[in-house]
Amino acid sequence: MIEPYRLRINGGVLSPGELKYICEAAEALGLDTISFGSRQDIIFPEEIDESKFSQFDKIQFVKPKRDGVENIVSSYVSTEILPSTSWLTGERYLYVLEQFKHNPKLRINVTDPKQKLVPLFTGNVNFIASDHEDYWYLYLRLPGWEKTQMYPVLIYSWDMDKIELAIENILIEEPETIETVFDLVIDAVETNNRTVDKPLEVPFYPFPYYEGMNRIGLDRYWLGLYWRNNRYDIPFLKAMCDLCFENKIGKISITPWKSFIVKGIPLHSKLKWEKFLGKFGINVRHSMLEMNWHLPVNDKEALSLKKYLVTNFDQNDISTYGLTFGITSYDSDTYNFTSIVVEKNRQPEIKGDFKIRDTFNLLYAKNFDPNTRDYILHVQDVDKVELPGLLMELSQLYFEQLGTERDEVIQPVVKEKTEQEVYQCQDCMTIYSEAFGDKTKNIPSNTSFESLPETYECSLCEAPKSSYKKKILVR
């Protein structure tokens, strides 16, 4: 299969002017449609003439496997329309994304743990917002690593670019542990890290419906558009960009689900947008049975299998609310980020003209939450005709579990409160937790406050040890 060219869209965010320029370039290169990728990039789905690239100096054409250049994924798309961390506004995302000036060689995710639309852990370098303003958890899964590991400090917003670049630069050392990475990075760059005072909490929310015209506040709307074949007509996109200009809409957001979202449609323009969609014959409100799928780009076999499975779901009136599905193969190098994964097996090597039917494995994420990063093998080596019944079986299992284990996360009032003794800096309110230590000062976990040297200083404001007061933290 030919690897198509991709266009890096930093964080999946671009202006109507940028999208229109890309559409015009695609037309000049002989295309009538463009597609969206699972890393919020734009794909030119057909072969194009590389000799014409110089005509479009604002576009960087890349093939990640060949060029080693990756896109940055962000959950900017979820701001205003999904639950969010209070300090992580759309403007803050844009400031953070703007600092990444280099072409990343690693997959980077910049996400809010309180939203569900954009996966948290599918990058090599995953920045996840903490409750502390402008500080982020960092989870790494570098090439060759089997598991994701948590960096031992919180990262300051304005250090994210140089820390990621430092990580790229130390790959030549082939680090195998997070401790090695941490030591090499702090030797290479000066940063404003903060101590980790509590583990990352990722609340459970059902996967959202992201299509159609939806209200924001009293006087604005957001519009989500999904095309089942992931081929978006260029004339439609260009006309839509013009309508965005007219309505002073500054940004368009690509989702990881081969769709896009336009936010900020004024109330007085809602009817005009609806007439515009009707003029181009755009259907919204697709069935959830077919929207929540992740498929390889331009893979006709995977698309055919999806249609087969969705048709079976529809004929049997199966509900998949909150579930997401992925189709992958044995040789895929991407990380799964769906509730249920259909994995195609490698065919055995045989001699002669015998044809062997494809077989599949079914896996599901622990608690059906892909952010657990823990997948359980449900069945192995099954035929295609067995898949619909087995997926319906998993759907039933999901709904049986939905009212039990997850209530603890959805309804915090039933969680048992715990008390933790900590020490808090009275100057900047930074907390020292004995359970986590202070990696910024090379103090390991489970180090008591009393045993810290008298020269110990706050990692954030450099206040002396005497500035800390004991507190009981109730969670």
Greatest Cα pair distance in the chain:
80
Give SS3 for 471: strand
Please indicate, yes or no, whether residues 425 and 383 belong to a single structural domain of this protein: no
What span, in angstroms and rounded, lies between the C-alpha atoms of 140 and 179?
11
Where do the DSSP E strands lie in 272-418?
A: 293-294, 325-329, 340-344, 359-365, 375-383
Alpha-carbon torsion 329, 287, 40, 199, what sign? negative
Can you give the pLDDT of all 475 residues of the chain as single tens digits?
678 999 999 999 999 999 999 999 999 999 999 999 999 999 999 989 888 898 998 898 999 888 899 999 999 999 999 999 999 999 999 999 999 999 999 999 999 999 999 999 999 999 999 999 999 999 999 999 989 999 999 999 999 999 999 999 999 999 999 999 999 999 999 999 999 989 999 988 888 889 999 999 889 999 999 998 899 999 999 999 999 999 999 999 999 999 999 999 999 999 999 999 999 999 888 888 888 999 887 788 999 999 999 999 999 988 888 899 999 988 787 788 999 999 999 877 665 566 678 899 999 999 999 998 899 999 999 999 999 999 999 999 998 887 665 433 333 333 344 567 888 888 877 888 888 888 778 888 888 988 899 999 888 788 899 988 888 765 4
Report if residue 8 sits inside a domain. yes
* Domain co-membership, 299 together with 340: yes
Side chain identity, residue 437: G
E-strand spans in 47-165? 61-62, 72-74, 108-111, 125-129, 135-140, 149-150, 153-156
User: Are 87 and 6 in a shared domain?
Assistant: yes
Domain carrying residue 58: 1-120+202-286
**Same domain for 388 and 445?**
no
> What pTM was computed for the model?
0.86
| pLDDT value for 413 | 33
Residue with tokens 């996400």: 111
Indicate whether 214 and 334 sit together in one domain. Answer: no
User: Both 93 and 213 in a single domain?
Assistant: yes
Long-range Cβ contacts of 137-140 (<8 Å, 24+ apart): 137/196, 137/200, 138/163, 140/167, 140/178, 140/181
Q: Residues 336, 375: contact at Cβ < 8 Å?
A: yes
Give the CATH number, domain containing residue 3: 3.90.480.10
In a domain, 45, yes or no: yes
| Structure tokens that stand for 12 in this block | 């999946």
* Overall number of domains in the chain: 3
